[in-house]
Structure 1
Amino acid sequence: MFLAGTDTSTIIVEWALAELIKNPTILKQLQSEMDAIIGQERILQEDDVSNLPYLQAVCKEALRLHASTPLSIPHYSFESCEVEGYHIPTDTRLLINIWAIGRDPDIWENPLEFVPERFLPCGKAVNIEPHGTDFEMITFGAGRRICVGKQAGMVFVQYLVGVLVQGFNWQMPKGEEIDLKESPGLVIPKAVSIKAFVTPRLASKAYF
């Protein structure tokens, strides 16, 4: 359980960093938020995350666009039923395509674009949370088969993305671009790992 949770969380962190490096304006806005709330004299703490709405929005957008597990844990029907006009027979194992829901143009405006603002108060998805109660975004699943580590996963992703973005400037090597190709499988990591130059951006005492 811990291995699976660690693997999926680190995949989301890498996707979030890839999207931020590809979109330097979003990266700068996130760094500006943390500079205003935390400053540059200390590193981010877990308690700070609740005061950083743009960091939360960035992580939600990464979860939406790059679901680390494309299919849900199997659900099982004990009796036949109708769901949205589809007949589900008794003794059926159901797999939900989480990846497709996160990119559905009937639900999301410009679904293939990385737009954290959609989760801010001015955005249409401000009330959507990835906790299994909003079916537009079921990154951790839903119902009785929902991921037991969803809360820990969100804390891990938000904290690690925040620390890496606050602590360093990120830049691609000259002449190279971020590759957003996916690697197929039970989880969806990047096909090509990030290669980037990082430079410290905080006061030296913040790193010790």
Structure 2
Amino acid sequence: MDFVDILLSLQEDPEMKRFISNETIKAIVMDMYAAGTESTHIVIEWAMAELIRNPGTMKKLQDEVRSVAGSKHTLEENDLVNGMDCLRAVIKESMRLHPPGTLLLPRELIEETTIAGYRIPKGTRTFVNVWAIGRNPSIWEAPDDFRPERFLGSSVDYRGQHFELAPFGAGRRMCPGIGFSVTIIELALANLMLQFDWKLRDGMKEEDMDMTEAFGVTTRIKSSLLLVATPRF
């Protein structure tokens, strides 16, 4: 059974039917697609921007992807199961530096709590600044540098178990589109590395790139990323 099957099965329970209408199910599915799609292209664009600024890392990632692909011209989901440590490290590092949602979504405390000596009353609306956490020098070495190798051999992941890396949030209210989003990010980035060689436009250097973040609910790159793609096949 998939997620929609489970939601539909809840309608068979008389106690749950009034809470799980067809409209509710459609709204939940739309939330998943919206959350997954928005974060997907933001992470891919930031990852490509960081890779083009770090050609050595891009070369390592291309070598890994092309080694796994062999003679294949397109990678599929099953191809990403093993041997893609560098790919996943690049994605983690991109989301550490550039989380799609800088402040996540607001949370409301259901009971009073104390954090770092501060009393937070019940009902307080709070925001979690995952951008600041991802660049905290007390947690990360050289926090402003793009270093995917920091995640090689590390158990730190972005699925809500490690609060130092929580671009999708954590707990019961974490982003519902995480599974859809991460799968598409991995597939898209792997195929971009497999099928093309990348460079900046003529006359442009890595240090000339504008890495300014655009203000908004989601954190996009302010200036459009324009690259030259050379097909390999």
Common topology (TM > 0.5): yes
Q: Which residue, out of 153, 158, 172, partners 2:186?
A: 158
What is aligned with 1:58?
A: 90
Secondary structure, aligned partner of 2:162: coil
Residue correspondence of structure 1 range 90-105 to structure 2 within 5 A: 90-105=122-137
1:179 pairs with 2:210: yes
1:42 pairs with 2:42: no
Deviation track 1:72-99 (CA, whole Å, cap 9, x = no partner) reads 2111112211123221111101110011
Structure 2 stretches lacking a partner, 5+ long: 1-30
Q: Post-superposition shift, 1:40?
A: 4.2
1:20 pairs with 2:51: yes
Deviation track 1:8-50 (CA, whole Å, cap 9, x = no partner) reads 2101100000111111111110011112221243211111222
1:145 pairs with 2:176: no
Aligned equivalents of 1:171, 1:81: Cα separation in 2: 50
CA contact (8 A) 2:73 2:195 kept: no
Structure holding more helix per residue:
2
* Bigger Cα displacement from structure 2, 32-41 vs 65-74: 32-41
CA contact (8 A) 1:49 1:55 kept: no
Aligned equivalents of 2:105, 2:98: Cα separation in 1: 17
Aligned equivalents of 2:164, 2:35: Cα separation in 1: 24
What is aligned with 2:36?
A: 5
Q: Which 4+ residue blocks in structure 1 deviate beyond 6 angstroms?
A: none
CA contact (8 A) 2:113 2:120 kept: yes
Secondary structure, aligned partner of 1:48: helix
* Bigger Cα displacement from structure 2, 170-179 vs 131-140: 170-179
Secondary structure, aligned partner of 1:21: helix
Secondary structure, aligned partner of 1:18: helix
Secondary structure, aligned partner of 1:130: coil
Aligned equivalents of 2:198, 2:76: Cα separation in 1: 21
What is aligned with 2:13?
A: none
Aligned equivalents of 1:77, 1:41: Cα separation in 2: 51
Secondary structure, aligned partner of 1:87: strand
Determine what percentage of the aligned residue pairs are the same residue: 39
Secondary structure, aligned partner of 2:229: strand
- The Cα RMSD (Å) is 1.2
Aligned equivalents of 2:71, 2:144: Cα separation in 1: 33
Structure with the greater alpha carbon radius of gyration: 2
Q: Which residue, out of 141, 146, 159, partners 1:109?
A: 141
Deviation track 1:132-187 (CA, whole Å, cap 9, x = no partner) reads 11010111001121111111111111111111111100000122143211101111
Structure 1 stretches lacking a partner, 5+ long: none
What is aligned with 2:197?
A: 169
**Under a length normalisation based on structure 2, what TM-score does the superposition of the two structures give?**
0.82
CA contact (8 A) 2:35 2:176 kept: no
1:86 pairs with 2:118: yes
